[in-house]
Structure 1
């Protein structure tokens, strides 16, 4: 939503309309559709917390669509795992062909499969949790994907990281700056405690820069459906005990 003039000093707001695909290996762990809706809604609530510290621009992801996939026509498999790059391209093609209903700013795949990349030497690297095109929000390439163990919420961090990519954030630099990779912010793979729940100053700058280039048609909310549930505001820790999490993982 566009809540203030571009030339205003007041903080602006961008509600990013999100459509989520739950793939065959993810959605099969949920019974009624409402259970899947509530699960993904809680994930998005948790993702939004990672963006609350943004300065000068309020970012909020709003769940406007869910596709429960039964055949994963977009998926590219290699030795039983998802080929990240080929599947990302498959998602672009899948969306172009009109398989996703409604309007959205970003399309995100929650996969119950393991993700992997083929390296230049031909090796299959399974040390991959997600992938996204950088800064492509509101374009045909506004797609991202990430692993998730169904019902565990384990994929929340990956989802937040990949969605930040779609908004324009790159990985934090491996230097000695206040944005350093080694400080363990959201756009790093390092774990330095609470920093992983927020964006570095550099990531925030990159997202604000992309936002300033967006068309008003992207910033305006256009979806006619919003998935809201009785669990609005509920976080993963309130839904899954530590013992249950360990059992699922």
Structure 2
């Protein structure tokens, strides 16, 4: 695999974000204006490579929507407590802190991202493209973490590993007989990935190591294979021997934006809202007093207005974890100065048809209904030639009316996208 340490200034210079509308985009002016990223919770944008340019030479762009399932039973087992009685949970390389109660102004979990072979191949093994993609994910996650007040949290991408060939990922546990659909057993894969990480010294200075996979995360239950889990992390695993997580991503969709932020929060100690405390780590509080139906980030409810925010229970847990000796790494700055930061928006650069095809990839025929009235910011996706269809919310930035675009499900004037600070 190719390991990259990222230059912060280089990655930041073309990144823009709009916190109010949860937008994060990368803007490039090489060979024409090109925009890629997240335009809101469900809207994405990307350049249409290979398409004919407009009369004035501009690159055509495609806006497309993604859809999340609103059902907590559809997302089981996306975190676990490590199977351990070990009290020494901290790698020796991270034991360099004073003790004492601390009320932080800001903590900055340092994340190393491993792009698996399928993700790397989809992005043509281009290190800049992969870095840009990861930067958008990281920035979009940070827009959601801005809802945390005590402590304030800002994720920092400190490195990316590009996987150049399948033999570079020996930790992938494939489902026998399902090779064509790229199913992997995620619980076995994450355990093997964790063992792999512990043997690689270049991960030592990262608080969290996340695997982004283009394969289908799967699990067996009563002899049936389920593929409805999009991410996994060890609860409270940051800074410890279990500081790994993974998400499933469909390149071009930025479908993993929500899951990435959600699973990182598991690593920082948060359980789902409404759930009791875990037996590990010691002193875990839990989130029983925050109802699931309030629809905060640590649910799969996706209910406005809380769907972009972390609940008070999750914030309380992160502060609780932060003040434990094993987690001092969360405010310890890495000695490596090269970092990735992104303010890109995963949504302004893709067509509705592309969006439909990415979301409903299991269907052989998928097309967007281009005649469908977009003023309600709903995309109609045909899933067969007989007119069978699905309706999904439009990604932020899709054109919906004269001089208007969809933003968080509303047809409104396009928001300004500010330069990242």
Separation in 1, partners of 2:240, 2:269: 12
Correspondence for 1:41: 135
Greater CA radius of gyration, 1 or 2?
2
Q: Against the structure 1 CA distance between its residues 8 and 168, is the aligned structure 2 distance closer, same or farther, given a 3 Å change threshold?
A: closer
Match status 1:20 vs 2:113: yes
Q: Is the CA contact 2:107–2:330 (under 8 Å) kept in the aligned structure 1?
A: no
Secondary structure class of the residue paired with 1:47: helix
The aligned residue for residue 188 of structure 1 is 299
Residue of structure 2 in register with 1:205 after alignment:
316
Q: Which residue of 2 aligns with 1:127?
A: 228
In structure 1, the partner of 2:200 is 98
Instruction: Find the counterpart in structure 1 of residue 290 from structure 2.
Output: 179
In the superposition, relative to structure 1, how do residues 174 and 166 fare at CA in structure 2: closer, same or farther (>3 Å)? closer
Structure 2 match to 1:224 = 336
Q: Give secondary structure in 1 for the equivalent of 2:161.
A: strand
Correspondent of 1:235 among 342, 345, 370? 345
Partner secondary structure for residue 223 of structure 2: coil
TM norm structure 2: 0.53
**Shift in CA distance, 193/241, structure 1 to aligned 2, threshold 3 Å:** farther
Provide the aligned length of Structure 1 versus Structure 2.
240
Name structure 2 gaps, 5 residues minimum: 1-98, 277-287, 360-421
* Corresponding residue of 1:51: 145
In 2, are the aligned partners of 1:132 and 1:165 still within 8 Å (CA)? yes
SS at match of 2:184: strand
Q: Distance in 2 between matches of 1:87 and 1:111?
A: 11
State the Cα deviation string for residues 117-152 of structure 1 (Å, max 9, x = none): 222x23222111111100011112000011100122
Determine the structure 2 residue equivalent to 1:107.
209
The alpha-carbon deviation at position 228 of structure 1 amounts to 3.6
RMSD: 2.4
1:86, CA displacement in angstroms? Answer: 0.5
Counterpart pick for 1:116 among 187, 209, 218: 218
Higher helix share goes to which structure?
Answer: 1
Runs of 4+ in 1 over 6 A off after TM superposition: none
- 1:225/1:248 CA distance change after superposition, 3 Å: farther
Tell me, yes or no, if the aligned pair for 1:67 and 1:100 is still in contact at 8 Å: no
CA contact (8 A) 2:322 2:330 kept: no
> Which stretch shifts more, 98-107 or 79-88?
98-107
Distance 1:179 1:102 in 2: 35
Residue pairs, 1:64-75, within 5 angstroms:
64-69=158-163, 70-71=165-166, 72-75=169-172
Offset, 1:193: 2.6
TM-score in terms of structure 1 length: 0.87
Alpha-carbon separation, structure 2, partners of 1:193 and 1:227: 33
Which residue in the other structure is 1:76 paired with?
173
